[in-house]
Amino acid sequence: MPSLFKRSLLPRLRSFPLAADAVSILNGAAEFRRCLLEQIAQATHRIYIVALYLQHDEAGQEILDALHAAKAARPELDVVVVVDWLRAQRGLIGAGKQPGNSAWYQQQTREHSSEVPVYGVPVQTRELFGVLHLKGFVIDDCVIYSGASLNNVYLHKFDKYRFDRYHLLRNQALADSMQHLVQHGLIASRAVHRLDVPDLPTTRSLRNDIGDLRSRLKHATYDTAQGVLNKDELSVSPLLGVGKNNPLSRVICELIASARYQLTICTPYFNLPLPVTREINRALARGVKVDIIVGDKTANDFYIPPSEPFKVIAALPYLYEISLRRFAKRHQREIDSGALNLHLWRDGENTYHLKGMWVDERYTLLTGNNLNPRAFRLDLENALLIDDPKGELSEPRRGELAEIFRHTRRIENYQHLETLPEYPPAVSKFLRRVSRVRIERLLYRIL
């Protein structure tokens, strides 16, 4: 076993016992939106919403209105929204100068008599080098876990959707643990401030506090003191990670290393960290059947059709396809034998945002981690690891995977993926320039 696992984390993870009927897998973004709104309306004592962003659009307004309505109906309700500090203060990429979501939060606070505080967490002083990428909504004793943020496309408010995974777990101990981290590990920090009130401090003025918060988060964990070490029953373990060689990244690598016969991985941005690539290679060498499901470049949330004006951000889906093609070329023999199956997801003009892993019909990893260098080093990430040694969740697990595979096609040969000369001229020109000045490797590390 590689030296990385001499002090293996998996056997030492404390977990919360979980009843099979306490786990529900929601079928699609529209059902996720309905479930979230229903749970908010029924809440009796707490609502903790944590997401990269809550967007100023129709779906975002619907969520925020529901939170204010719940608070107005039950003033004793503990309602907290936590988003990324930097992401909330800028507009959409490529949309020109905009005030950002924070201006909308402040407007909503002025217009409502009920109070729904929106906290901004600065993981770094620059968004490029790290954001709040935690997932999970705690509503009473339920945890709704998805990689989705909150806007029209993630919630399938209109015609288009962004496909993700959606789980509801009814478990008080898990909900308590996740709330405790938000309450004591995040919003208690001097670096964290409300975005829904005027006169926000500058990020520059918070530099020391942000450094202190990041240092603390590198050593932070979910409180699992009420959990157990028993590995014989269905259970769930919350995981946290930020920075190099963090516990979440190590568990991801250990899960791949533990696979004996089947490994399935989902990632929207094919740009695997070196430790993950190494463990996949070792899994293939020992005879594990590996399925990797990624989005077609046209299903990437950064994709811009060639008919529209070129923006630098539009090159990202092509960079990911280049990375996928290189990986497929190195593993063409395993693709031919069926040991490795690379699947491209595409459903019309909809987009793909799935993350996570399934290992040997035992482990299921729910996470917002994109399995890329940025997630392994820069962003604050979390995950829920479900351990199912008796196969109690086998049927819903198969159902979720069948739904994911429904809009995929297998890559039979690396040559079926496009190359630089086949890309739109503006994209091809930019990528040639990037390669020529040797910054491609840096881009792969931070995007």
Residue 92 has pLDDT above 70, yes or no: no
Same domain? 427 vs 306: yes
Arithmetic mean of pLDDT, 8-17:
93
264 and 182, same structural domain? no
Residue among 29, 52, 75 at smallest CA distance from 137 = 52
Nearest to 144 by CA among 117, 120, 171: 171
Query: Is 197 contained in some domain?
Result: yes
The verdict on 303 and 192 lying in the same domain is no
Check whether residue 173 and residue 259 sit in a common domain: no
Claim to verify: residue 194 and residue 252 sit in the same structural domain: no
Please tell me whether residues 320 and 203 are part of one structural domain: no
Average pLDDT of span 341-347: 98
What would the pLDDT profile of 177-235 be if each residue is shown by its tens digit? 999 999 999 999 999 999 999 999 999 999 999 999 999 999 999 999 999 998 899 99
Identify whether residues 62 and 178 lie together within a single domain.
yes
Q: Which domain holds residue 418?
A: 243-377+380-446
Q: How many domains does the chain have?
A: 2
268 within domain boundaries: yes
193, 120 in Cβ contact below 8 A? yes
Boundary residue ending a domain (185, 218, 251): 218
> What would the mean pLDDT of 376-380 be, rounded to a whole number?
95
Does the structure show a pLDDT above 70 at 3?
A: no
In a domain, 237, yes or no: no
- Burial class (CB within 10 angstroms; exposed 0-12, middle 13-18, buried 19+) of 364: buried
- Name the pLDDT band for 1 (thresholds 50, 70, 90): very low
Beta strand extents in 130-190 (DSSP E only): 137-139, 142-146, 162-163, 166-170
Kindly state the percentage of the chain with pLDDT values over 90. Answer: 90
246 burial level (CB within 10 Å; 0-12, 13-18, 19+) = buried
Is the predicted pLDDT of residue 2 greater than 50, yes or no? no
**Residues in contact with 437: Cβ distance below 8 Å, sequence separation at least 6, in sequence order:** none
**Domain co-membership, 256 together with 213:** no
Q: What is the mean pLDDT of residues 311-328?
A: 93
Asked if 357 and 264 touch (Cβ cutoff 8 Å), the reply is yes
The mean pLDDT value for 53-73 works out to: 98
The per-residue pLDDT for 128 is 86
238 within a domain of the structure (yes/no) = no
The Cα 310–Cα 313 span in angstroms is: 8
What is the set of active-site residues? 133, 164, 353, 381
| 36 and 94 share one domain | yes
Tokens of 145: 């876990």
Q: Considering the entire predicted model, what is its pTM?
A: 0.94
- Structure tokens, 175: 């909900």
* Residue 230 located in a structural domain: no
- Choose among 225, 220, 276, 219: nearest CA to 253: 276
Q: Is the separation of the CB atoms in 228 and 244 below 8 Å?
A: no
Position 269 scores a pLDDT of 93
Q: Does residue 247 fall inside a structural domain?
A: yes
Q: What is the CATH number of the domain that holds 206?
A: 3.30.870.10
Question: Do 207 and 74 sit in the same domain of this protein?
Answer: yes
pLDDT band at 445 (very low <50, low <70, confident <90, very high): low
412 and 311 housed in the same domain = yes
Same domain, 159 and 56: yes
Query: Is position 5 within any domain?
Result: no
In this structure, are residues 130 and 242 in contact, taking their beta carbons and an 8 Å threshold? yes
